[in-house]
């Protein structure tokens, strides 16, 4: 059965936070509640549990992998095709160190970008709950309601908190 | 009371949208004229390039032993310009300097486009451009990879890393703004921005990840910018060519790049400020801050330049003295004088005055002059060392031809074209970052007092 | 059948054969006649022959690949060149494949205008060229870069080549008939002018033709020649020859004038001798002192250079001689020559102490009005020092192995001029220019063109277009020495009896034919059967006389043996000179033409190693190679001393007008530190009016790779030279002209002055050019 | 392994070599008269292109070996010196490592090899060449040989195309040819069995080519001379072209 989201836009942060508080008080699961905003707000703003990102770790991991790749490619090339040039060693550590670093950065940068997309599950084909007012700066609370009887409840709670526009969004 | 503070005023979100997004949707005749002019220059440069490819490198003024000339000094110049955008943005992001917000996007875009332009020069000046891919480390049936001992390969790797990093560093922070554009656009533009926004909604998770990503990128890109300019300097420093073979070139190039790049950032934001009426976003406060950074960069640049100058002057190694004399007493004397006037002797003292730093017109003229000086400086690095290197029997002079001058106009025109097109696909002031500023500086009424909310990111 | 096969088959059908044997550098030297099955495609074949680019008669080895000659090398152990070969010799392959070679005989109805049959042939051959696949367009240009390396294969258009060969085959009979009728009409009033390539038995054959016609003997034209040296040598050594200078074993060589190694009669031989003199002996390093006006190549390698005023070389020689035989004091010599007395005294000391010593004079001395007395004084130095008939000294020339091979003496300018006067008077009915461009030997002050215009019939045997052939009614292009038979012997003594046998490593290019084939056929038609079917039969018959002298191992015939080693060489010298020390008159002052007030500069025409006697100008390698001293390429220039340049306010690449009483030239300035303030140097014989694309004065050829138009070489310095004759030898005193130099205020147009090295002259900034060269800056003087 | 990561291991003067030969050239400046036979011999042997007058003046001509002339002093006390300069085939060649595509590298027998097919024309090698002996093909050389001049071309040497660098190869085609010949005949190469085109043409025997690793070879003997020096020796490029000073030394 399709998930139904209740989407409520608020003109102000305070009222939106209030709406979330009401939902939590009504035993809506925190993991089903989200806020769409035009700017990032401090995590504490909504009274929801803080989220963690693994991007830094991913970038660091791939930085290391890139370093290994870079050195392997540079040194391996020298190893397989040992062409002497200018009485430089076949495995020239300073030169290959530079290649190692550049490879590491390329890997790290792209890992951070691809990791971001993966972590945020973007780009997506799904029609996810959204309200155009978000881009006007209106915080918009979305609540996933697995049980259809909770939908009305959520709507009324959010209206009570001062939501301007409350919609249902089914996937 | 006239004091310049930040942020100057706070606007409602709708106003910001209106101000900042307008250039994306509203196209004036002035834009078309600029596109026509720069596009013409770009196409002419492109045609010149293809002419040179089809005819041969003899159409340039290059000859033995001046194997690199104007084209490579253009390369170094544009690589230098590309430095500052990403660097300033990353530096200020990492140091959480809030005043950065209105200028980061414009600066980052400058980096990407200057780099895209600069990266063409190594290809332009190849004898057999159509075989450029021999330099790439890809598996091939020729059973040969590239020579990782060559500074040109380091250079290629560094350009790839910096270009990749800068493009992502430009694109990912623009995602929320593409979402805003998507919500404001219709028709074909809506489709385009929907595609660009990748379905950004602004969930808590998205923001958390994006912020982490931006910080990671800033951390990665900042040293890569340093490495990139250092490696460009090593294209010269690794050689045995007199006055190229110096260990100061690394930091000297990095700081020179920062200096000329900062100048271009200021030139660009001033143009944007006038063109789009963004006086309320880009204020003398920014000019003052950027001017201070530029002043420091300029002083350090001069300090390093003087280091190089005085060591080769005092040391008097015969082969170095020949080139030194060319610059300071010979053929290139007036170039040297012009350079010193344009980017040091006149400019740096003026920058020390707040009055100059905060005057948009003065800064505009000043930054243009700095970049003229820096362009000459690149020329003076590349050319004199080559015309009189090696056995004096082979010494020569160098006179660029129209082809090389066309290919000097080409990067400028190309850069303008790219920048003008970018105006139409992304807001040049980061909308969400300004709004975040507003959140950060929001005030709360407490009793009779208006208190500033202290918000940590 | 493509052209390669054509060349291969037709070139290799002779009867004699020999298997390759190893000799120098492991080369497989071959006799001319090798059967096709013995040739491995892709493997070079070497043919021993001799170089004929100049009179030196160097032994040479032609490397032939699939019917094409790709390189000429020196023949090791040849007494003339000892394995070396000079620039001109190396460039001879460009003569062979010169783009402007005459493709076949040309009967002209209007002088200077090619005949219709020739033009048709030329078109056919160009069509055949065009049928080969070569990159010509820009797009192809790029394709070559991408797709392939090396020159695309010649895909010859078979039909076009067959046409070309059919056409050439038809042209010769008519041309020979025309020559026969020309000879018949000329008879006793026939004049045969020959160049240096007509020598040995080729000369004998022409001499025989002259005899049967009742005409005067063929006249040898050597531009700006050496007759004064021969006259002086006759006076001192008793024979008008240029003896063997045994440089290799001498301790001191005093060279008057400066062109021994570059443009003398045997540069490779003397260069070899110089090298051996310096470093071949264990403990002795021979010294070289150069006495001259212009500091040139020899002075550059000399231990000392004694600068003298133009034409005063003889005074230095006389300062070294005892007073009894006309010697003068060093002080007197110093005042006459303008050089330092100390230097002369030091030279006298060396001359007295070092034995053996050789003194010899070059063209700088010979080009003056006092040439003979000066050269006599120089030759007398050898007698006074006891160097004559002595190892390390001056030795008599060994007679050639065959009397018929003796080198014909070149005619003096006075003789040439007399003949030209006869032409002008209408006394010459028929003129044969055999491998010679007479214009190279005449200053423009003499109207040779007008004189030749009076001759009813002119036939030219030139291989390349030149000013002489431009006036011909009939062109009968001679084969190059790489395509025909011949023999030669050196023009100077080399310490051995040398008979070079020249064989054709490749087939004649297109339809060129050897002179002797044409002469024999035409003489026969004119009713004088000279007794031989063709050149090959003629040379075989001549060399048959030598058979007992050539010891041939095994079954090889002496002829094949001679072919394999390139002739016959026997070490030894001629019968000793009966030299005597002449009593000299006080030094004679040289005469100059031109008022010193209005013409302040002496003109020093420089015979360069690049152009030599004029044959080199047509060859692009020699044009493009920078002159060793000036580094100038492609044409002429005017050398000005730094002081003179400063005084005139000109610098390199400025254009000046150089003017004598005879004419004027516009030339680019080269600042040349090796000249006195009152002399200018201009290279000699660098251009022709009707030359090839590479040496014509007017230019206009498009250089395809860069689409640049060749500016041309400009008028030659012969336009300036006064017609002054040295009275005793009749030689042209071509160094007797005074000129003025006027800046035009412009720079020369691009390509008119070409300098390979543009480095700053040390006079402008003494610190610079040498700073970087400290490591090898040890000058020859210890 | 130690050889691979230490620069010393590849210093060809001391390190191991594959071919057991190390080609070298000795130039005796005391014999050189600047006659230029070597220059034209090189043109003929190695298919050097013609540049034409304008491009020659612009410094785009080809002289794999050139005779440099240096002046000193003022007339009449003027002096000049010739010095033939060709690729010095440096053992620590600065031009080699800067090539991004291995178009130039060092062969086991000490030759500074140039692989035209790989060259993309960065021209970095000539920048880093202290002797300025590398020549770039600014134009399509084949176009400057009007018919029938190309008949002279030496088929053993490739004709370069536009956009690639070229330089003296020590006549590598001759080396290969004679190595092959020796192999067929089952013997070792003899000293002086062959030589480069320039050395062969030199009438004064200024240039002597041979194997520096063969102690009996003529070049090995000559490099013992006190007159020996190398160009720009202080740069540490380790050329294998040895010059012998002129003069009484």
pLDDT digits over C522-580, tens only?
999 988 888 898 888 898 888 887 766 666 555 667 777 788 888 888 889 999 999 98
DSSP H stretches of helix in C59-193: 87-90, 92-96, 116-130, 138-147, 158-186
- pLDDT at position B319 is 81
pLDDT in tens, C386-427: 999 999 999 999 998 887 788 788 899 999 999 999 999 999
- pLDDT at position D5 is 55
Give the whole-angstrom CA distance, residue C193 versus residue C460. Answer: 10
Taking CA D237 as the corner, what is the angle to CA D233 and CA D238, rounded to the nearest 5 degrees?
75
Domain match, A68 and A106 both: yes
DSSP string, C605-622: EE--TTTTTTTGGG-HHH
Whether the CB of D39 is below 8 Å from some CB of chain C: the reply is yes
Percent composition of chain D: helix, strand, coil (DSSP 3-state, to 5): 25, 20, 55
- pLDDT at position C155 is 46
Which of C9, C153, C4, C17 lies closest to C65 in space, CA to CA? Answer: C4
Question: Please, which residues 54-73 of chain A have a Cβ atom closer than 8 Å to chain B?
Answer: 55-56, 59, 63, 73
What long-range pairs does B1-6 form, CB within 8 A, spacing at least 24? B4/B283, B4/B284, B4/B285, B4/B288, B4/B358, B5/B285, B6/B98, B6/B99, B6/B283, B6/B285
Band the pLDDT of D19: cuts 50, 70, 90.
low
Residue C460 has pLDDT above 60, yes or no: yes
pLDDT in tens, B33-72: 999 999 999 999 999 999 999 888 999 999 989 999 999 9
Q: Between A87, A89, A93, which is nearest D12 by CB?
A: A87
- pLDDT at position C767 is 33
Which of B326, B375, B390 lies closest to B70 in space, CA to CA? Answer: B375
CA distance A83 to chain D (A): 6
- B57/D94 touch (CB, cutoff 8 Å), yes or no: no
Name the burial class of residue B424, with classes exposed (0-12), middle (13-18) and buried (19+) by CB atoms within 10 angstroms of its CB. Answer: middle
Residue D159 has pLDDT above 80, yes or no: yes
User: What domains can be seen in chain C, in order of their start residue?
Assistant: 244-395 (3.40.228.10), 601-774 (2.40.40.20)
Whether the CB of B130 is below 8 Å from some CB of chain C: the reply is yes
What does DSSP say about strands C738-747 and C601-606: parallel, antiparallel, or unpaired?
antiparallel
Other beta carbons less than 10 A from residue C284's beta carbon: 15
CA distance B434 to chain A (A): 9
What does DSSP say about strands C664-671 and C638-640: parallel, antiparallel, or unpaired?
parallel
Residues of B in contact with C759 (CB under 8 A): 392-395
Mean predicted lDDT score pLDDT of chain C: 85
CA distance C769 to chain B (A): 5
Question: Please, which residues 385-414 of chain B have a Cβ atom closer than 8 Å to chain C?
Answer: 390-397
What are the angstrom distances between the C-alpha of D212 and each of A86, D107, D192? 19, 15, 12
Chain C: touching chains (3 or more CB pairs < 8 Å) = B, D
Q: Distance between terminal CA atoms of chain D?
A: 44
- What topology is assigned to D21-244 in CATH? Alpha-Beta Plaits (3.30.70)
The answer to whether residues B145 and A81 touch, using CB atoms and an 8 Å cutoff, is: yes
Contacts of C355 (CB under 8 A, 6+ apart): C251, C252, C385, C386, C387, C392
Give the whole-angstrom CA distance, residue A118 versus residue A122. Answer: 6
The answer to whether residues C80 and C494 touch, using CB atoms and an 8 Å cutoff, is: yes
Which of C646, C219, C651, C737 lies closest to C443 in space, CA to CA? Answer: C737
H/E run at residue C680? strand C679-683
pLDDT in tens, B131-185: 999 998 887 777 778 899 999 999 999 999 999 999 999 999 999 999 999 988 8
Q: What percentage of residues in chain D have a pLDDT greater than 90?
A: 55
Residue C766 has pLDDT above 80, yes or no: no
- D137/B127 touch (CB, cutoff 8 Å), yes or no: yes
Give the whole-angstrom CA distance, residue D232 versus residue D239. Answer: 9
The answer to whether residues D133 and D64 touch, using CB atoms and an 8 Å cutoff, is: yes
Number of domains chain A is built from: 2
CA distance A78 to chain D (A): 9
Domain match, A106 and A133 both: no
Which of D118, B133, D184 lies closest to C26 in space, CA to CA? Answer: D184
- C757/B390 touch (CB, cutoff 8 Å), yes or no: no
Q: Between B168, B208, B211, which is nearest A109 by CB?
A: B168
Does residue C113 sit in helix, strand or coil?
Answer: coil
DSSP H stretches of helix in B198-283: 204-237, 249-276
Check whether the bond before D148 is cis (ω within 30° of 0).
Answer: yes
> CA of A66: which chain B residue's CA is closest?
B161
What are the angstrom distances between the C-alpha of C414 and each of B277, C448, C685, C724, C730? 94, 13, 19, 10, 5
- pLDDT at position B85 is 87
CA distance A82 to chain D (A): 9
Tokens representing A66 are 């890139």
**Mean of the pLDDT values across residues C639-648?**
94
pLDDT in tens, A105-119: 999 999 999 999 999
DSSP string, C470-481: GG-SEE-PPPPT
Whether the CB of D236 is below 8 Å from some CB of chain C: the reply is no
Give the whole-angstrom CA distance, residue A63 versus residue A61. Answer: 5
Q: What percentage of residues in chain A have a pLDDT greater than 90?
A: 37
pLDDT in tens, C165-185: 788 778 899 999 999 999 999
Q: What percentage of residues in chain C have a pLDDT greater than 70?
A: 87
Give the whole-angstrom CA distance, residue A163 versus residue A13. Answer: 11
What does DSSP say about strands C474-475 and C457-460: parallel, antiparallel, or unpaired?
parallel
Best D80, D82, D174, D226 residue to mutate vs chain C (most C CBs within 10 Å): D80
What is the DSSP-derived secondary structure letter of residue C28?
A: E
Q: How far is CA C501 from the centre of its chain?
A: 19
Q: What is the CA radius of gyration of chain B?
A: 23
Whether the CB of A87 is below 8 Å from some CB of chain B: the reply is no
Give the whole-angstrom CA distance, residue B136 versus residue B146. Answer: 7
Chain D: touching chains (3 or more CB pairs < 8 Å) = A, B, C
ipTM computed for the complex: 0.89
- C760/B392 touch (CB, cutoff 8 Å), yes or no: yes
Q: Between D90, D95, D97, which is nearest A88 by CB?
A: D97
Q: How is chain D split into domains, by residue range?
A: 21-244
Band the pLDDT of C632: cuts 50, 70, 90.
very high
Domain match, A134 and A111 both: no
Residue B2 has pLDDT above 80, yes or no: no
The answer to whether residues B363 and B291 touch, using CB atoms and an 8 Å cutoff, is: yes
CA distance B145 to chain D (A): 7
For D121, left (φ over 0), alpha (ψ -120 to 50), or beta? left
- A89/D9 touch (CB, cutoff 8 Å), yes or no: yes
Give the whole-angstrom CA distance, residue C543 versus residue C549. Answer: 10
- D238/A87 touch (CB, cutoff 8 Å), yes or no: yes
Helix axis angle for B360-387 and B333-340, nearest 10°, is 150
Whether the CB of B238 is below 8 Å from some CB of chain D: the reply is yes
Other beta carbons less than 10 A from residue B44's beta carbon: 15
Q: What percentage of residues in chain C have a pLDDT greater than 90?
A: 63
The answer to whether residues C236 and C376 touch, using CB atoms and an 8 Å cutoff, is: yes
Q: How far is CA B130 from the centre of its chain?
A: 27
Which of C573, C567, C685 lies closest to C78 in space, CA to CA? Answer: C567
pLDDT in tens, C225-264: 888 999 999 999 999 999 999 999 999 999 998 788 887 7
Residue C774 has pLDDT above 60, yes or no: no
Best B67, B123, B152, B386 residue to mutate vs chain D (most D CBs within 10 Å): B67
Which of D213, D98, D229 lies closest to D165 in space, CA to CA? Answer: D98
Which residue range is the domain that position A147 belongs to? Answer: 4-46+128-170
Tokens representing D29 are 């400046």
Best C90, C602, C702 residue to mutate vs chain D (most D CBs within 10 Å): C90
Residues of C in contact with D233 (CB under 8 A): 775
Other beta carbons less than 10 A from residue D107's beta carbon: 18
Query: Does residue C40 or residue B209 have the better pLDDT?
Result: B209
Tokens representing A57 are 């770790």
Other beta carbons less than 10 A from residue C172's beta carbon: 17
Band the pLDDT of C154: cuts 50, 70, 90.
very low
Contacts of B448 (CB under 8 A, 6+ apart): none
- Buried-state track D80-105, b at ≥16 Cβ within 10 A, e below 16: bbbbbbbbbbbbbbbbbbbbbbbbbb
Whether the CB of D28 is below 8 Å from some CB of chain A: the reply is no
The residue behind tokens 């000193």 is D72
Helix axis angle for C515-525 and C158-186, nearest 10°, is 50
Domain match, A62 and A106 both: yes
Q: Between D3, D7, D95, which is nearest A88 by CB?
A: D7
- C628/D57 touch (CB, cutoff 8 Å), yes or no: no
**Of the listed ranges B269-278, C506-515, D115-124, the one predicted with least confidence:** C506-515
* Side-chain half-sphere CA neighbours of D164 within 13 A: 26
Q: How is chain B split into domains, by residue range?
A: 13-290+394-452
The residue behind tokens 């700006």 is C224
- C84/D202 touch (CB, cutoff 8 Å), yes or no: yes
DSSP string, B291-336: HHHHHHHHHHHHHHHHHHHHHHHHH--HHHHHHHHHHHTSTTHHHH
The answer to whether residues C682 and C715 touch, using CB atoms and an 8 Å cutoff, is: no
The answer to whether residues C717 and C686 touch, using CB atoms and an 8 Å cutoff, is: yes
Mean predicted lDDT score pLDDT of chain B: 90
Taking CA C592 as the corner, what is the angle to CA C586 and CA C597, rounded to the nearest 5 degrees?
120
């Amino acid at each position: 059965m399709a998930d139904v989201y209740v989407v409520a836009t608020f003109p102000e942060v305070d009222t939106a936070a209030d709406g979330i508080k009401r939902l939590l008080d009504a035993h809506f699961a925190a993991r089903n509640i989200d806020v769409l905003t035009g700017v990032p707000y401090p995590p504490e703003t909504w009274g929801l549990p803080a989220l963690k990102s693994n991007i830094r770790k991913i970038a660091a991991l791939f930085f290391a992998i890139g370093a290994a790749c870079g050195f392997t490619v540079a040194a391996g090339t020298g190893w397989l095709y040992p062409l002497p040039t200018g009485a430089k060693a076949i495995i020239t550590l300073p030169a290959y160190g530079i290649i190692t670093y550049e490879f590491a950065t390329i890997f790290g940068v792209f890992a951070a970008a691809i990791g971001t997309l993966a972590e945020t599950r973007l780009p997506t084909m799904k029609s996810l709950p959204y309200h155009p007012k978000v881009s006007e700066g209106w915080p918009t609370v979305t609540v996933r309601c697995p049980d259809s009887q909770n939908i009305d409840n959520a709507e009324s709670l959010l209206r009570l908190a001062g939501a301007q526009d409350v919609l249902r969004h089914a996937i | 009371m006239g004091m310049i503070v930040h942020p100057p005023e706070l606007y409602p979100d709708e106003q910001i949208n209106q101000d900042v997004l307008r250039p994306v949707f509203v196209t004036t005749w002035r834009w078309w004229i600029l596109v026509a002019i720069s596009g013409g220059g770009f196409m002419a440069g492109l045609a010149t390039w293809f002419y040179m490819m089809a005819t041969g490198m003899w159409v340039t003024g290059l000859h033995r032993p001046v194997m690199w000339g104007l084209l490579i000094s253009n390369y170094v110049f544009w690589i230098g310009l590309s430095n500052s955008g990403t660097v300033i943005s990353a530096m200020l992001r990492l140091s959480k300097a809030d005043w950065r917000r209105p200028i980061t996007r414009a600066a980052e875009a400058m980096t990407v486009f200057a780099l895209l332009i600069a990266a063409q020069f190594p290809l332009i000046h190849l004898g057999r451009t159509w075989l450029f891919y021999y330099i790439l480390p890809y598996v091939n049936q020729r059973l040969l990879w590239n020579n990782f001992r060559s500074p040109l390969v380091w250079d290629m790797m560094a350009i790839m890393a910096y270009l990749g990093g800068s493009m992502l560093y430009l694109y990912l922070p623009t995602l929320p703004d593409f979402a805003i554009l998507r919500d404001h656009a219709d028709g074909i533009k809506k489709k385009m921005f929907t595609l660009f926004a990748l379905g950004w909604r602004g969930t808590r998770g998205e923001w958390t990840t994006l912020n982490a990503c931006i910080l990671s990128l800033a951390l990665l890109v900042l040293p890569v910018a340093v490495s990139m300019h250092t490696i460009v300097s090593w294209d010269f420093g690794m050689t045995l060519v007199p006055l190229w073979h110096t260990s100061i070139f690394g930091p000297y190039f990095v700081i020179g790049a920062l200096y000329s790049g900062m100048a271009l950032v200021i030139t660009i934001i001033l143009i944007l400020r006038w063109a789009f009426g963004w006086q309320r976003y880009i204020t003398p406060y920014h000019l003052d801050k950027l001017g201070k950074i530029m002043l420091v960069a300029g002083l350090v640049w001069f300090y390093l330049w003087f280091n190089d100058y005085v060591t080769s002057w005092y040391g008097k190694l015969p082969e170095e003295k020949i080139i030194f004399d060319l610059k300071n007493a010979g053929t290139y004397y007036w170039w040297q004088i012009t350079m010193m006037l344009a980017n040091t002797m006149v400019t740096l003292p003026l920058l020390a005055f707040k009055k100059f730093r905060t005057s948009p017109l003065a800064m505009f003229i000043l930054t243009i002059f700095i970049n003229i000086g820096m362009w000459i400086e690149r020329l003076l690095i590349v050319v004199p060392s080559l015309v009189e290197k090696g056995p004096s029997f082979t010494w020569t002079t160098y006179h660029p031809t129209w082809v090389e001058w066309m290919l000097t106009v080409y990067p400028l025109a190309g850069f303008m074209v790219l920048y003008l097109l970018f105006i139409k696909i992304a807001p040049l002031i980061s909308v969400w970052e300004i709004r975040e500023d507003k959140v950060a500086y929001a005030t709360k009424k407490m009793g009779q007092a208006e208190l500033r909310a202290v918000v940590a990111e | 059948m493509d052209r390669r096969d054509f060349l291969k088959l037709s070139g290799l059908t002779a009867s004699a054969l020999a298997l390759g044997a190893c000799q120098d550098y492991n080369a497989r030297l071959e006799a001319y006649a090798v059967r096709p099955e013995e040739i491995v495609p892709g493997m070079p074949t070497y043919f021993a022959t001799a170089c004929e680019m100049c009179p030196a008669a160097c032994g040479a080895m032609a490397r032939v690949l699939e019917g094409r000659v790709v390189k000429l090398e020196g023949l090791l152990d040849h007494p003339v060149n000892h394995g070396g070969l000079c620039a001109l010799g190396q460039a001879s392959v460009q003569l062979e494949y010169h783009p402007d070679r005459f493709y076949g005989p040309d009967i002209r109805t209007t002088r200077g205008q090619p005949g219709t049959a020739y033009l048709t042939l030329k078109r056919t051959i160009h069509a055949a060229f065009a049928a080969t696949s070569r990159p010509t367009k820009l797009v192809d240009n790029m394709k070559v870069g991408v797709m392939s390396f090396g020159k695309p294969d010649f895909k010859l258009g078979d039909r076009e080549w067959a046409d070309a060969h059919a056409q050439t085959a038809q042209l010769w009979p008519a041309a020979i008939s025309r020559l026969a009728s020309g000879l018949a009409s000329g008879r006793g009033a026939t004049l045969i002018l020959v160049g240096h390539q007509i020598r040995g038995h080729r000369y004998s054959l022409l001499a025989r033709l002259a005899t049967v016609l009742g005409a005067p003997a063929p006249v040898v034209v050597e531009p700006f020649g050496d007759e004064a040296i021969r006259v002086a040598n006759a006076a001192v050594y008793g024979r008008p020859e240029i003896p063997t200078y045994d440089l290799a074993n001498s301790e001191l060589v005093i060279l008057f004038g400066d062109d021994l190694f570059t443009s003398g009669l045997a540069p490779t031989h003397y260069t070899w001798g110089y090298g051996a003199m310096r470093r071949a002996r264990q403990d002795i390093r021979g010294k070289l002192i150069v006495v001259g006006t212009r500091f040139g190549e020899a002075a550059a390698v000399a231990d000392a250079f004694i600068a003298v005023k133009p034409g005063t070389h003889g005074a230095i020689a006389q300062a070294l001689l005892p007073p009894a035989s006309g010697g003068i004091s060093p002080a007197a010599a110093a005042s006459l020559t303008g050089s330092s007395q100390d230097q002369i005294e030091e030279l006298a000391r060396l001359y007295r102490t070092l034995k053996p010593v050789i003194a010899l004079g070059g063209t700088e001395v010979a080009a003056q009005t006092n040439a003979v007395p000066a050269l006599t004084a120089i030759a007398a130095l050898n007698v006074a020092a006891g160097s004559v008939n002595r190892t390390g000294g001056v030795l008599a020339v060994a007679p050639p192995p065959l009397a018929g091979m003796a080198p014909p003496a070149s005619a003096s300018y006075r003789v040439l001029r007399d003949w030209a006067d006869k032409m002008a008077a209408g006394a010459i009915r028929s003129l044969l220019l055999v491998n010679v461009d007479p214009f190279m030997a005449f200053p423009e002050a003499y109207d040779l063109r007008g004189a030749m215009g009076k001759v009813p019939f002119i036939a030219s045997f030139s291989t390349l277009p030149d000013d002489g052939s431009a006036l011909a009614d009939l062109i009968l292009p001679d084969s190059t020495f790489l395509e025909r038979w011949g023999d030669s012997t050196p023009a100077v003594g080399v310490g051995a009896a040398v008979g070079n046998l020249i064989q054709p490593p490749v087939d004649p290019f297109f339809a060129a034919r050897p002179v002797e084939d044409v002469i024999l056929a035409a003489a026969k038609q004119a009713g004088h059967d000279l007794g031989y079917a063709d050149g090959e039969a003629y040379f075989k018959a001549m060399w048959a006389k030598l058979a007992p002298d050539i010891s041939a191992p095994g079954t090889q015939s002496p002829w094949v043996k001679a072919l394999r080693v390139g002739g016959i060489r026997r070490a030894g010298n001629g019968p000793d000179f009966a030299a005597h020390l002449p009593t000299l008159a006080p030094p004679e002052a040289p005469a100059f033409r031109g008022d010193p007030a209005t013409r302040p500069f002496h003109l020093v025409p420089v015979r360069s190693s690049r152009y030599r006697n004029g044959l080199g100008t047509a060859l692009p390698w020699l044009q493009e190679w920078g002159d060793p001293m000036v580094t100038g390429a492609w044409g002429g220039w005017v050398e000005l001393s730094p002081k003179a340049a400063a005084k005139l306010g000109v610098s390199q690449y400025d254009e000046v007008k150089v003017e004598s009483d005879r004419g004027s030239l516009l030339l680019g300035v080269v600042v040349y530190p090796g000249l006195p303030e009152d002399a200018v140097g201009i290279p000699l014989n660098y251009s022709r009016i009707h030359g090839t694309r590479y040496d014509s004065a007017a230019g206009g050829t498009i250089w395809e790779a860069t689409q640049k138009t060749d500016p041309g070489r400009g008028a030659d310095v012969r336009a300036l030279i006064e017609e002054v004759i040295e009275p005793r030898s009749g030689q042209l005193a071509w160094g007797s002209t005074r000129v003025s130099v006027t800046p035009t205020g412009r720079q020369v147009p691009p390509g008119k002055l070409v300098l390979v090295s543009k480095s700053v002259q040390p006079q402008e900034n003494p610190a610079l050019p040498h700073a970087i060269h400290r490591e090898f800056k040890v000058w020859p003087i210890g | 392994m130690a050889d691979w990561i230490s620069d010393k291991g590849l210093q060809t003067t001391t390190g191991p070599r594959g071919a057991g030969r190390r080609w070298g050239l000795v130039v005796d400046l005391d014999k050189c008269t600047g006659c230029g036979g070597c220059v034209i011999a090189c043109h003929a042997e190695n298919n050097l292109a013609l540049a034409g007058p304008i491009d020659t003046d612009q410094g785009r001509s080809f002289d794999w070996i050139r005779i440099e002339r240096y002046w000193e002093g003022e007339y009449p006390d003027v002096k000049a010196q010739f010095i033939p300069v060709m690729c010095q085939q440096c053992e620590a060649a600065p031009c080699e490592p800067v090539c991004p595509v291995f178009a130039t590298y060092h062969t086991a027998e000490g030759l500074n090899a140039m692989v035209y097919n790989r060259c993309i024309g960065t021209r970095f090698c000539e920048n880093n060449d202290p002797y300025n002996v590398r020549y770039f093909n600014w134009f399509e050389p084949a176009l400057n040989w009007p018919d029938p001049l190309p008949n002279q071309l030496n088929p053993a040497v490739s004709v370069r195309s536009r956009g690639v660098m070229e330089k003296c190869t020590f006549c590598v085609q001759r080396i290969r040819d004679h190595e092959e010949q020796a192999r067929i005949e089952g013997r070792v190469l003899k000293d002086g069995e062959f030589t480069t085109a320039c050395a062969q043409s030199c009438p004064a025997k200024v240039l002597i080519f041979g194997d520096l690793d063969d102690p009996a070879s003529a070049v090995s003997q000559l490099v013992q001379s006190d007159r020996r020096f190398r160009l720009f020796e202080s740069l540490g490029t380790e050329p294998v072209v040895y010059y012998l000073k002129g003069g009484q030394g």
